[in-house]
Structure 1
């Protein structure tokens, strides 16, 4: 049986989930298909977590337009969805007097883009703000509107709010074909067949493949891998702002930045690759991260690295976002080539596409729409009084599963039970940080698997890290037959 919807969204990254949430303001039947086992499985999960000011994008581009517009929306959106966000500012630093004039060019570009709070500061002010920054820093562009956010937290919050407002989410649903028939768009996916009046392509590194199935206005994506290190919370507060070096044609360069969770992030590299899902870290890439970051942070404590990771971003051959209705494919809408500053731009792209689609479909307002989403109460952020109250209301708050991050059984169960909830250990990690601490899930994994099995009715041998192909357990050591929920 083919299921019929008003709008079908392809891709469960931050842009797809933002579009879903904004469309749920209208009376529409909306479905989102995600090819992976969870939302936020691609570049929305693995990026620099920066809310960019908008000084870098070429004036007149969609990158500039949506970056600046999205930046101004973050305070409201993150307040409504209870997502960690901090406007801590950014510094673009020159480490040579010969490069100082380039900062003036970035300042002029930012002002042309409509970015406020830009100024150039000297070495003395740099040192006052960032005492651990390299002594070679001579001048910097201060970007007061820069910020940091939890990218997967934002994506998940968008999805939960959209689901609460009626959007259907289907995971493990890779799109295999799209055709336009008289009654709308027919979409074939690994999860079944669907029909929709409108389709929204938010497929990230695969957005060109989706567009090129239906439109003669082709574009092409080059996967660009970026590798990172994460520094332990022991260095919380070591840097206050996001520290950028002067950008190049390959991106914004190697940065050092605090995260909203108290760690420090250094990276990324920028390497064009052939495989769109190749998120391996490499010795060459991580050495490049370390060498580049050492320009900003002279004495990087390498023994404090707790993990490394890589993300793949969607670099488009047009070197800009592709946003809007395809000119030769009625009611097929693209959010293609959304690389940096895609995270910052997501709220604005979501609003624009939702309003455009609602207008094209003559959709009425949804009187039941609720813009708010409550986050899972975090045990590690509670006072002792609040902890006592939480335990009294739910004794599972007294059972600490992840010791590094102080994550309790109550939080893990809520992460699984929520709309668009966790189905894997990585899904739990993204929602409540179990496994993100210093030991990197060395102690908490067995209990997390046990809770997943209890909540979802899984056999332990079915438990996965991130997808069906990443089983955590292969067989029973002491039992000839499997025992569910063991």
Structure 2
């Protein structure tokens, strides 16, 4: 049985942000994750938006933590070397009769403390975004909104936490939690763990974890959102994130550029029962296409290269459930939108809570920075040539769509908490995320994974578990 001061359940963006904050202190911390890698749940399938914070009810956790997270994100992106762009957002009012709803959103944003909010008239909006709907009457402009790579953000938190001494245990699903003389005993599919304190950051399963220890039950509904991702040739169709006025189920279908140059449209919002229900549907994707066309005209939908769905953890109280709900048990539950935006602030809040409760001392050797993989596309020709001279693997293109090299894939595998599957490589390097969606590069990426991990090709998976790609290969060929 392994003993820890703090055990965090869940290695999504919330759990890893908390782990990074706790790694500042002299305490023994580990993260338990049921999947084979970080960023395998809600954190891998969302809108990748850093919201300004005008939508949430003033005084709610969503409002407070969104605004604080937005303030933190730019400096964090520099410290931890992940892509972020503060490109701003527009909430469109397409009907003069709905103008008062737009004004209420502006007033709420001012009350939440958001800087730079403006209501623009039709002409001002069209100057900024010529491709928005001809029906636009006015818009709320939030210059502090931004876009981020949720994969790289989560991985950056995790790598930095790991560098500072946090342990990560993957393929480790929590089965039972009970009190014992040392605090908590956690039974998993891979053994038992002891902890003085538990932090529950289990996404759509946070209610299941909470209900193992508390008589005050939580209920989380998975809210499915479907998306379409367009090729980089469509990436400049809009320059900012475009919303319509929010409704009962959230902020509606948006149209946004991504930090990697694509165009993203979605999501839908459908409450389901299945916590693993991330399949796309014909009706859902049709709704994405139709709704996005209401706010932005002439979207080149023939450039859609893939579709996907993600689940948001909607708690019945419609707010984050944050704090010590049982003695030595801290909840971070119901972390739906704006959860990605709020993650840095949630990490800071929980880090402070645990530090004060257990009187933790700061480390003198805490490493606050992290360097990501070389960005070959951002280098000059001279810089690339020098890198290739030092390591010829950086001159061997594996993924032609995204121009990802063998050197980058090797780096992704060898890094702290490195990639162990095709999806792990994809999240770290974008190999397989381009126009052909890994149609050409996957066999070569599998070969590199097999070589680096010292496994057979049959053991290489798409996303861990039983997701093997091939069986019964000819040993004379491979």
Question: Are residues 1:352 and 2:311 paired?
Answer: no
Question: Are residues 1:419 and 2:444 paired?
Answer: no
- Aligned residues of 1:380 and 1:407 also touching (Cα < 8 A): no
Unaligned runs of 5+ in 2: none
Paired residue for 2:204?
205
Match of residue 384, structure 2, among 358, 382, 387: 387
1:141, CA displacement in angstroms?
Answer: 0.3
Paired residue for 1:6?
5
Paired residue for 1:313?
312
SS in 1 for 2:217: coil
Match of residue 443, structure 1, among 440, 445, 455: 440
Distance 2:175 2:378 in 1: 44
1:298, CA displacement in angstroms?
Answer: 2.1
Match of residue 466, structure 1, among 463, 467, 474: 463
1:467, CA displacement in angstroms?
Answer: 1.7
Paired residue for 2:65?
66
SS in 1 for 2:44: coil
Distance 1:19 1:312 in 2: 21
Paired residue for 1:24?
23
SS in 2 for 1:405: coil
Paired residue for 1:45?
44
SS in 2 for 1:214: coil
Distance 2:235 2:116 in 1: 26
- Aligned residues of 2:237 and 2:299 also touching (Cα < 8 A): no
1:137, CA displacement in angstroms?
Answer: 1.0
1:242-267 deviation digits (Å, cap 9, x = unpaired) = 00000001010000001000001000
CA RMSD of aligned residues (A): 1.0
Distance 1:381 1:461 in 2: 35
SS in 2 for 1:210: helix
1:323-347 deviation digits (Å, cap 9, x = unpaired) = 1101xx2111010000000000000
Match of residue 405, structure 2, among 408, 432, 439: 408
Question: Are residues 1:276 and 2:275 paired?
Answer: yes
Paired residue for 2:330?
333
- Aligned residues of 1:64 and 1:113 also touching (Cα < 8 A): yes
1:173-217 deviation digits (Å, cap 9, x = unpaired) = 010011111211110111211001111000000000000100112
Distance 1:386 1:180 in 2: 56
SS in 1 for 2:291: helix
Bigger drift between 377-386 and 76-85 goes to 377-386
SS in 2 for 1:136: coil
Paired residue for 2:374?
377
- Aligned residues of 2:65 and 2:346 also touching (Cα < 8 A): yes
1:38, CA displacement in angstroms?
Answer: 1.0
Distance 1:215 1:201 in 2: 12
Distance 2:121 2:472 in 1: 62
- Aligned residues of 1:91 and 1:142 also touching (Cα < 8 A): yes
TM-score normalised by length of structure 2: 0.99
- Aligned residues of 1:59 and 1:112 also touching (Cα < 8 A): yes
Paired residue for 2:266?
267
Runs (4+) off by over 3 Å: none
Distance 2:155 2:248 in 1: 31
Paired residue for 2:363?
366
Paired residue for 1:147?
146
1:369, CA displacement in angstroms?
Answer: 0.6
SS in 2 for 1:98: helix
- Aligned residues of 2:234 and 2:300 also touching (Cα < 8 A): no
Distance 1:88 1:232 in 2: 19
Question: Are residues 1:112 and 2:101 paired?
Answer: no
Bigger drift between 373-382 and 72-81 goes to 373-382
1:133-165 deviation digits (Å, cap 9, x = unpaired) = 111111000011110000111000000000000
1:386, CA displacement in angstroms?
Answer: 1.1
Distance 1:162 1:204 in 2: 19
Question: Are residues 1:342 and 2:339 paired?
Answer: yes
1:360, CA displacement in angstroms?
Answer: 1.2
TM-score normalised by length of structure 1: 0.97
Paired residue for 1:194?
193
- Aligned residues of 1:380 and 1:405 also touching (Cα < 8 A): no
Distance 1:228 1:342 in 2: 18
- Aligned residues of 1:226 and 1:310 also touching (Cα < 8 A): yes
Paired residue for 1:156?
155
SS in 2 for 1:44: helix
Paired residue for 1:323?
322
- Aligned residues of 1:378 and 1:407 also touching (Cα < 8 A): no
How many pairs align? Answer: 478
SS in 2 for 1:25: coil
